[in-house]
Amino acid sequence: MNTFVRCGSLFTGREDEAQTAGMLVFDRDGRLTYVGAEAGAPRRTKNDRLIDHSVHFVMPGLIDVHTHLAYGNAKSEEDIDLYSPLEFRALRGMFFAQKVAAAGYTAICSPGDAGQISLSIRDAIRAGLFDGPRVMAAGPYLTTHQGLTDWYPTWIGAPETSIGKLVTNIDEAVEEVRRQVKNGVDCIKLALDGIQRRPDGELIAAFTQEETDIITRESHRLGRKVISHSVGREATLYAARAGVDLIFHGFDLDEECIAAMLQSGSFLCPTLTHPRNLIDFTQPHEPAAQKGRVEVTERRYRLGVANLKKAKAAGVPFLPGTDTGFAITPYGEWHARELELFVEDLGFTPAAALRATTEAAGRFMTSAGEIGVLEPGHAADFIALDGSPLADIGILQDRSRLRAVYIAGKEFRVADRPYDPRRVTDFALTNWTDLYTQARVAELGARPRRLAAE
């Protein structure tokens, strides 16, 4: 039995335009056998099935290369690392992976998490235990005492349940790469940004160039990709020179970084959604606002976008990713905002943004050659929309426009189950975010009450 899909508009990911009156045909294994004009399609027999999307825009399933399945819509780093057992996080992660797929994202890269959460979710979906997106999984970030994800004082260290795996020398780093590969990761995540700044404000990388080279080389030797967290110029440069496959952020990049990225062929995932959501949605009472993070983020965002535009103009390939998994970027909600920001802030055409999240992202993923474009031999991972994102990229964020999601030819449906967010995450012990001095209390107009005994 084959399945025929009538498409009002068909966007394959290979071209900038959509063709009208298209047809997809896929076999019982969910593999495409025909993609093209309805007029040229093979003849349908009586055993074949017909799905009618003749009033819809059909395109490849969307891909987000920066979605953290282990974070659970976290409100703080402690929330990510400490308070819930890995087993609970895995169950929670599966629930949220399904929410992401329901938003039209048929494949995601989960770049850095605690334990073996994302790869367990990946394997459970692959084994057919659950419906869900295709997952490309990393293990914990490799970090040093100078790196992001080694948040806690040295007398605490990086706990086993943390997303950071602290390595204190290059031998430990190589050992950790081998351990993670043995356990089945698809990629190695490096916390390449450091925590110290030079007097001029530049971030000092957490690893040296030589260490970055060795870790990347060993990962590649074992057939795995490498992803780095690199906001700083130095971390971006080291990653690009080492041949890291995907660089996150890159906000402080310069001409030297661009040249190195072009040479290595590294993809760049700027991840605009997280900072933009932080800037746009953080309320004044939130600790992030109280600490001045909104202003700082906005300033860095403006500078970052100017640098990123230079990289785009030079031909560095960009991939959309959102840093989903925080309270400011909950699962299944904002993935497609990245595409709108690619258009609005980086100057992509809608077609280029769509091709970045399909064709280009598909090339990066473990399932490269199977996903990202609709053509014979590829998986029948596609979505059907009411309206054209080529005319208005914003409709991808409007769930009422998303009519169907298919993964390997099977329609993905999941009940929109409400849940209690307080029992899912936010177990941190913080009780107050203000300091109640006499002066502050007077300023607030709060008054001690008389609590007389009955």
Q: Closer CB to Zn ion, residue 229 or residue 401?
A: 229
* Smallest gap from residue 140 Cβ to Zn ion (A): 13
From the list 86-94, 317-325, 349-357, 374-382, the region that binds Zn ion by CB under 5 A is 317-325
CA distances from 197 to 144, 191, 234 (A): 16, 16, 11
Residue showing the smallest CB distance to Zn ion in the complex: 323
* Smallest gap from residue 203 Cβ to Zn ion (A): 16
State yes or no: residue 64 binds Zn ion (CB under 5 A): no
DSSP 391-423: T-GGGGG-GGGEEEEEETTEE---------GGG
The SS3 of residue 348 is: coil
Token pair belonging to 108: 């995601």
Q: Give the residue from 59, 74, 70, 67 showing the smallest Cα distance to 100.
A: 67
- Residues in contact with 174: Cβ distance below 8 Å, sequence separation at least 6, in sequence order: 214, 215, 218
Rounded to whole angstroms, the Cα distance separating 233 from 240 reads 10
Q: Closer CB to Zn ion, residue 59 or residue 158?
A: 158
- Total residues contacting Zn ion (rule CB under 5 A)? 1
* Smallest gap from residue 275 Cβ to Zn ion (A): 12
From the list 15-23, 114-122, 320-328, 419-427, the region that binds Zn ion by CB under 5 A is 320-328
Binds Zn ion (CB under 5 A): choice among 323, 340, 370, 426? 323
* Smallest gap from residue 163 Cβ to Zn ion (A): 9
Rounded to whole angstroms, the Cα distance separating 74 from 52 reads 40
* Smallest gap from residue 321 Cβ to Zn ion (A): 8
Give the pairing of strands 32-37 and 19-26. antiparallel
Q: Closer CB to Zn ion, residue 8 or residue 320?
A: 320
Rounded to whole angstroms, the Cα distance separating 88 from 78 reads 16
* Smallest gap from residue 66 Cβ to Zn ion (A): 6
From the list 258-266, 321-329, 380-388, 398-406, the region that binds Zn ion by CB under 5 A is 321-329
From the list 114-122, 322-330, 349-357, 369-377, the region that binds Zn ion by CB under 5 A is 322-330
Q: Closer CB to Zn ion, residue 3 or residue 271?
A: 271
From the list 31-39, 127-135, 148-156, 316-324, the region that binds Zn ion by CB under 5 A is 316-324
* Smallest gap from residue 447 Cβ to Zn ion (A): 44
- The 10 Å CB-count burial string (b at 16+, else e) for 291-328 is eebbeebeebbeebbebbeebbeeebbbbbbbbbbbbb
Question: If 0-12 CB within 10 Å is exposed, 13-18 middle and 19+ buried, where does residue 436 land?
Answer: exposed
Residues forming contacts to Zn ion in the complex (CB under 5 A) are 323
